[in-house]
Chain A
């Protein structure tokens, strides 16, 4: 940095030594442009030195404490015995609903072996069906996980709805296929 600029800036941060003051005075006297620059710098310094301090709104601290309390309570919320029991029932229901689907899929595969031409079609349909079932379970479990802290009852209710959703979906798909076959 140029010496004159250095002196100008340093004079804003702390009082200069007598020697530096003399040096700066000479520079400013000899160069009107530098004097103008220095005046502008001083104006900036003056403006910033009296800048008002913005105070936080009164409600801000309360909002922050409420957020902390909410977050801590969500992290430490104990799962009740009833919740655990409901969760177990939901998982059992999912298993019960998924088993016939797996058995049905296996049955279709075995039967299709007598008709090699339709084997490919059946494998495709079974794979699609299973993929859809897995996807639905995945999505519903993810959603249940997201809301389980804030609203465990709704999360469990979602899980208990899984079997019904899966059965409805499968019957819809099979219904569509049957109609297509008949036509």
Chain B
């Protein structure tokens, strides 16, 4: 789950106002504060690091150019995640239209390497992360978005509905269905193997 960010709403509001008035450093503060949240969402939805980086860039650029339209009554994080999720879902739909299977997982070795170091614990985390990613990729984009926002961001149904622009009941049934689909795909053997391999390494 996401680490808590300890920036108050008042400070975020100040940064937004300054950024609207052309202060790029203020926007950089917003960027540093929320980039992990946006990147993780893009990565979980798109399943590929390079594409997630690109989508994160696009989401923040859209946010920058639409800052004047931002409603200060809303949470900035919810707003920027909403931009990012819509962008990613659009990408996934276009990908589908161009006949590239969204179920196809891209081997980690083929994706461009991140500049983050990969010590042993990180490798273990990557393995777990990839296993979850493979499971997520069996879901259609809007189901996947609901699952990611629920589990990685701990958002309520109402908040997820606001981000994805849907009704609360629709989100609830989408999440229920997504869990069921994942449960059907989770064979006891493969799951136990996965946990055993983790335990052995730990």
**Distance in Å: Cβ of B131 to nearest Cβ of chain A:** 8
B179 pairs with A41, CB closer than 8 A: yes
Question: Among residues 123 to 146 in chain B, which have CB atoms less than 8 Å away from a CB atom of chain A?
Answer: 125, 128-129, 131-132, 135
A47 pairs with B179, CB closer than 8 A: no
Q: How far is the CA of A64 from the CA of B28 in the complex (A)?
A: 9
Question: Among residues 40 to 61 in chain A, which have CB atoms less than 8 Å away from a CB atom of chain B?
Answer: 40-41, 43-45, 47-61
A59 pairs with B147, CB closer than 8 A: no
Question: Given A56-B35, A56-B56, A60-B35, A65–B115 Cβ distance below 8 Å?
Answer: no
Please tell me which stretch of A16-24, A67-75, A77-85, A99-107 contacts chain B, meaning at least 4 of its Cβ atoms lie within 8 angstroms of it: A67-75
A1 pairs with B179, CB closer than 8 A: no
Residue of B3, B151, B188 near A49 (CB, 8 A) is: B151
Residue of B36, B125, B184, B191 near A56 (CB, 8 A) is: B36
Most buried by B among A12, A50, A57: A57
Residue of A9, A56, A71, A72 near B179 (CB, 8 A) is: A9
Say what secondary structure dominates the interface of chain B. Answer: helix
**Distance in Å: Cβ of A102 to nearest Cβ of chain B:** 44
B194: nearest residue on chain A (CB-CB)? A47
At the interface, yes or no: A5 with Cβ under 8 Å from chain B? yes
Q: How far is the CA of A141 from the CA of B196 in the complex (A)?
A: 66
**Distance in Å: Cβ of B66 to nearest Cβ of chain A:** 13
**Distance in Å: Cβ of B3 to nearest Cβ of chain A:** 7
Measured between beta carbons, the chain B residues less than 8 angstroms from A51 are 1, 128-129, 132, 151-152
Q: How far is the CA of A55 from the CA of B43 in the complex (A)?
A: 10
Question: Among residues 1 to 44 in chain B, which have CB atoms less than 8 Å away from a CB atom of chain A?
Answer: 1-3, 24, 27-28, 31-32, 35-36, 38-40, 43-44
**Distance in Å: Cβ of B134 to nearest Cβ of chain A:** 11
B115 pairs with A59, CB closer than 8 A: yes
B176 pairs with A5, CB closer than 8 A: yes
B40 pairs with A54, CB closer than 8 A: yes
Known: A49-B151, A51-B1, A60-B39. 9 other contacts (CB 8 A): A1-B176, A44-B182, A47-B132, A51-B152, A54-B52, A56-B53, A57-B114, A60-B56, A61-B35
Chain B residues engaging chain A, CB cutoff 8 angstroms = 1-3, 24, 27-28, 31-32, 35-36, 38-40, 43-44, 49, 52-53, 56-57, 60-61, 64, 114-116, 125, 128-129, 131-132, 135, 147, 151-152, 173, 175-176, 179-180, 182-184, 186, 188, 191
Q: Which 3 A-B pairs have the closest CB atoms?
A: A56-B39, A40-B183, A48-B151
